[in-house]
Chain A
């Protein structure tokens, strides 16, 4: 009898101890491409997450423990990585990843296991589509289209817009659709939308038509290979309107190839850049802390998104009052005004971040971070 009593006491104590251990820490899994073709972006994002963890190591009085798994830039590995985080490490939330296809592969696993997952820089609309547990801190591709339209109409006061769209690219078509929707909703007029296909090099026919419609602004949601020579040909044909594009035009070669023709070109991007003027206090602190932590290595938007992904989960846990996956999911979905390095973020109905869109202008042959704008959808 005594033996039995002792045994049951031991069991009870043991259980209590276990329960205490589980309650003592918050476990957050991180799956990012640390090797393979996306390693560059994945590494920067991981450093952002780790820096956030160093700055905010506890939540609700509990220690936050990070479990990092490399998804090797591979879809199968991404699914395995998430599986491992959930089953072996028993994480309550997951951060990841760079790369939309990796995020989708990992997301399937998180969704089934009912563990919330916050994407860093996966911008394809499909990542969160129809998912209850998948979120992201970046905006989706089409959102930039609305950002460009808002900037053109409200900031620059341009009333007539034309578009030159790559019909063979989802990215281009998506941006164009949202540009048009936002621009017409704001009261602007679309005077012409012309198409081309990836790989085309002659745009003179389309541009001649567009020039004859006399738009104030031309939106070209193209990739870099076409974008620079489109602008070059537009200049040759005597175009004087403003030209705008999306983040795919963000390439250091743009001024080399485009020369005078790209002067004044404005493209949207994520709202963080270490060279930006008028940084928010948060962004400034992030930049300074980063430079102190990683001397000789500049922070970029990926590291900022990694940082924000961690912080938004902590914000959700704080509002939920507990670190239970279901509670975190609910709180994440209700995020309205999270102050991040990449701007004030709200999570919308499709679980995508709504935040200001950054703008870069080519001035005197140099890229200048102009500021942010809140898109009107």
Chain B
């Protein structure tokens, strides 16, 4: 492997890893506060991607407007899902909400298959995202620079919201003890609604980035990224925002480097990556950054 190929592999890892990180942030945030693994995250991710490209193709909105609008619509959808599927189960055992989220996931996916059809659709990319920049034989995609930056910005923003705002204080209170939060006058349902709104906005943002990187829309497009991001979140320590970013990047690097150094294992790279992750979890069961529960958001 020459230097250019090696650097290309690093860039590939960075692109894939930061996309995983972006999806994982949303997963981990909802989990950190509600202790709920929101399996519908994958479908919110998919819908976010569809919305933005409809905004462009059907309504002919300019790019940034379509993106912001799609994120807002998806966030409201997330709040709606919470109201319909999770709120009635707030006092039920945690497993009920988990099952409900699996139900929502299947429901949204099938609705998408019926209404959008299963045939893959094209994605329009702005010209500045289309062409790679050539640096000494290494091809750098604009997204390779943009996505990690976006992940970082969103991570900092989220940390700010959770640790520096009043709503964030409510979130942290709920994550510690939901009943006591009620008693202390925390507007629990509102805070949870905001949590889902932010989580879904993150899902939409990551769905859009994903669709820009792999320009093809399908109703099942969220499933695999969702699983991978979930694993990245667990690996990084579920509930930890920084952990999700580190987990996502690590998973991206493991996947790409497995293929780069052991090309024969390419078809089984998921198995290879996951075995490695299991080994890490055996040594550190709470994930990389999940050791101090009081730091969870």
Contact = CB atoms under 8 A, between A and B. Distances in A.
A209 B267 contact: no
Interface stretch (A61-69, A229-237, A332-340): A229-237
Contact of B215 (A194, A229, A238): A229
Contacts of B15: 204
A131 B12 CA distance: 49
Given A195-B267, A224-B120, A257-B215, A212 B12 contact: no
A240 interface: no
B122 interface: yes
Interface stretch (B22-30, B187-195, B199-207, B216-224): B216-224
Contacts of B2: 212
**Interface size classification for chain B:** 35 or more
B122 A205 contact: no
A228 B5 contact: no
B5 A212 contact: yes
B8 A201 contact: no
Given A195-B267, A225-B120, A229-B214, A205 B132 contact: no
B6 to A, nearest CB: 9
Contacts of A199: 220, 223-224
Given A206-B266, A212-B1, A236-B139, A201 B214 contact: yes
B122 A194 contact: no
Nearest to A166: B267
Contact of A225 (B16, B123, B218, B260): B218
Given A204-B15, A206-B259, A237 B139 contact: yes
A310 to B, nearest CB: 33
Contacts of A237: 8, 132, 139
A209 B259 contact: yes
A205 B270 contact: no
A197 B214 contact: no
Contacts of A251: 119
Q: Is chain B's interface secondary structure helix, strand, loop, or mixed overall? A: helix
B267 A197 contact: yes
A202 B253 CA distance: 12
A211 B5 CA distance: 9
B266 A253 contact: no
A238 B269 CA distance: 24
A197 B139 CA distance: 25
Contact of A236 (B119, B141, B257): B141
B19 to A, nearest CB: 8
Most chain B CB within a 10 A radius of its CB, from A168, A224, A238: A238
Contacts of A327: none
Most chain B CB within a 10 A radius of its CB, from A168, A208, A209, A257: A208
Contacts of B255: 202, 205
A237 B139 CA distance: 6
A253 B215 CA distance: 13
A87 interface: no
Contact of B266 (A195, A233, A257): A195
Interface in B245-297: 255-260, 263, 266-270
B197 interface: no
Interface in A190-216: 192, 194-197, 199-202, 204-206, 208-209, 211-212
- List of 5 A-B pairs having minimum Cβ-Cβ separation, nearest first: A195-B267, A205-B259, A167-B267, A204-B12, A256-B122
19 contacts: A165-B267, A195-B268, A196-B266, A199-B224, A201-B221, A201-B224, A202-B255, A202-B256, A204-B15, A205-B257, A205-B258, A205-B266, A209-B260, A229-B216, A237-B132, A238-B139, A251-B119, A257-B122, A257-B216
